[in-house]
Every structure is written in C-alpha cells, then in structure tokens.
Amino acid sequence: MSILVVGSVAFDSVETPFGKADEVLGGSGTYFSTSASFFTDVNLVAVVGEDFPTEHTDFLKSRNIDLSGLTTAAGKTFRWSGEYGYDLNEAKTLDTQLNVFAEFCPQLPQSYMDADYVFLANIDPELQLDVLKQVVRPKVVACDTMNFWIDGKREALIKTLKHVDILLINDGEVRQLADEANMVKAAHKVLAMGPKTLVVKRGEYGATMFTEHGVFSAPAYPLEDVYDPTGAGDTFAGGFMGYLASVRDHSDAAMRRAIIFGSVMASFNVEDFSLQRMKATG
C-alpha cells in the first residue's frame, strides 16, 4: 500500500558540536520519503527550484520514490539552516528561506488521488489542507508541524487538525499547541482538536502515544554516536507510517509496533549528517 506525502525538499546547512554540513539534501518530505521507502512505495508531493541537482532526484528515484508530484519551479530551492548545542534535543533555527515554497500550489497527479495513507509533513498548514482536499477518502491521515506554524498560523493549523487521525509532534510542540505545561493534560487538549492519536516525539527519551483509551511509551535506542539530529522526527514518521501502510493495519497494536519501527529508523538517521546514514543502509 503506497503512501502519499507532502512536505519540503530542501537544502540544509547544519552545525552541531561534532561537525558541519553546508547545503546538503534535507527537508521533511525527503527524510520522510526515504525512511518510508524501506517499508512501502511512496508518492512525494513537493517543489524544488531550478538549482536542485539531478544527483538528489536520482537518489530519491533509487529508493523507488514516485516523483510525478515533484514540481520544478522557477527560483531557488527551500533552504533551512540551524545549529545544535550539546543538548541535541533541540535545534536553533538560524535561517529559513521558503523560496519556491512561498508560491507553491500543489496539484496532485491523477495517480496520487486515491492514496489510502497520507502524511502531511511539516510545511504550511494551508498547503497541508490543500493537498488533503485532493485525496479521495484516505484511510489514515497523519500530520506533523512545528513551533513556527503553531505560532504563526494557528488558525489554519487547527483547521487542518480537524481532518487528521494521527498527529506526530515533539513534546515542546504539544505543550505549545495546548498552552499547557503538563504533558498528560496537554495531550488530552490536543486530542480534543481532532486527532484520535497523538504521538509525542521525545528525542533521546523515545516516544509516547496518547489515545482516548490510554498511553504507550517506548524508549529510544541509546546511541554512542549522535552527529546530527536533523530529520529525526521525519525519519521516525516515515518508519511509523511506512510500517502501518505495509501491513494495512492501524489498530492500537499496529501503531505500537509502528513506534518501534519509527524509533529504529530515527536512531540510524542521527548517526550521520543529512541522509548519509540511510544511504549507507541501502
């Protein structure tokens, strides 16, 4: 069962205490697609600029990711730069250049429209909803977002969330979205916004899933070498959704297993910059 994902394809510039990477392949759509491609077929919706090299599209194709929904527009590819301190759990964004994403109006290829599994990766919630509207009766809709949209496009985000089954965000984002410091109370406020399932990503501490029926927590695999946490959340989501789509099951038990698969993918990803580690896993 294939997955439709809309998200960013980008150039990232990242500095961590362990090294530096300049204008490397990144973006929420890229990390998600690559991770999910280990489990199932992926249809990617995104936009890049004329500066996006075939080297990167060749890599995505090599992972069997369908790029009919990847538009090339006049202008420059989305760029993000950030840095991490020794507490690798939180990125400090230095610069965001939306570039071609600023004017992006996604038009789904006909072949994408009957997707059963949809992932709205971290982009403008209005774009997320635009894409979702074009899909005919999806079975499972999952979604990610970040502080930038919770702050800046709260109304649009809340509108999108009404149509989302599974929200995957980190603990700070849960607290911010709910305006509540206690995680359990915050989770229940978020569940009241629409999603039936909330998966809280907690970096090195693992992930916790809240549903109306209860709570499930899984620790992360303790790593000796963490070089770059960029994309860990998207890679987690890719493993999570990729697994669900591959077994065509989104029961509570399947989602618990999916969290483990997501954790495994994320733990690989952070062991190197950009998508190097997943490339090496082949």
Q: What is the distance of C-alpha 238 from the center of its chain? A: 7
> Is 181 a residue that touches its own copies (CB under 8 A)?
yes
> By the 8 A CB rule, do 142 and 173 touch?
no
Q: Which amino acid is at 154?
A: R
Q: Which is nearer to its own copies, 214 or 282 (CB)?
A: 214
Q: How far is residue 80's CA from residue 221's CA, in Å, rounded to a whole number?
A: 28
Distance in Å, CB of 34 to its own copies, minimum: 26
Q: Which two tokens stand for residue 29?
A: 């759509």
Interaction between residue 192 and its own copies (CB under 8 A): no
Instruction: Give the interface segment with its own copies, choosing from 29-37, 140-148, 156-164, 197-205 (CB under 8 A).
Output: 197-205
CA distance to 58, 63, 115, 262, per residue, from 66 (Å): 11, 9, 13, 21
- Give the C-alpha separation, 221 to 205, whole Å: 9
Q: What value, to the nearest 5°, has the Cα angle with vertex 104 and ends 102 and 109?
A: 165
Supply the minimum distance, in Å, between the C-beta of residue 183 and its own copies: 6
Residue 202 found at the interface with its own copies (CB under 8 A) = yes
Instruction: Tell which one of 54, 136, 155, 222 touches its own copies (CB under 8 A).
Output: 222
Q: Among 92, 154, 162, 185, which residue sits at the site for its own copies (rule: CB under 8 A)?
A: 185
Q: Rounded to the nearest whole angstrom, what is the least distance from the CB of residue 49 to its own copies in the complex?
A: 38
Nearer to its own copies, 85 or 152 (CB): 85
136 CB contacts (<8 Å, ≥6 apart)? 113, 114
Task: Pick one of 94, 102, 184, 254: the residue that binds its own copies (CB under 8 A).
Answer: 184
Binding site for its own copies (CB under 8 A): 86, 181-185, 187, 202, 204-206, 208, 215, 217-220, 222-226
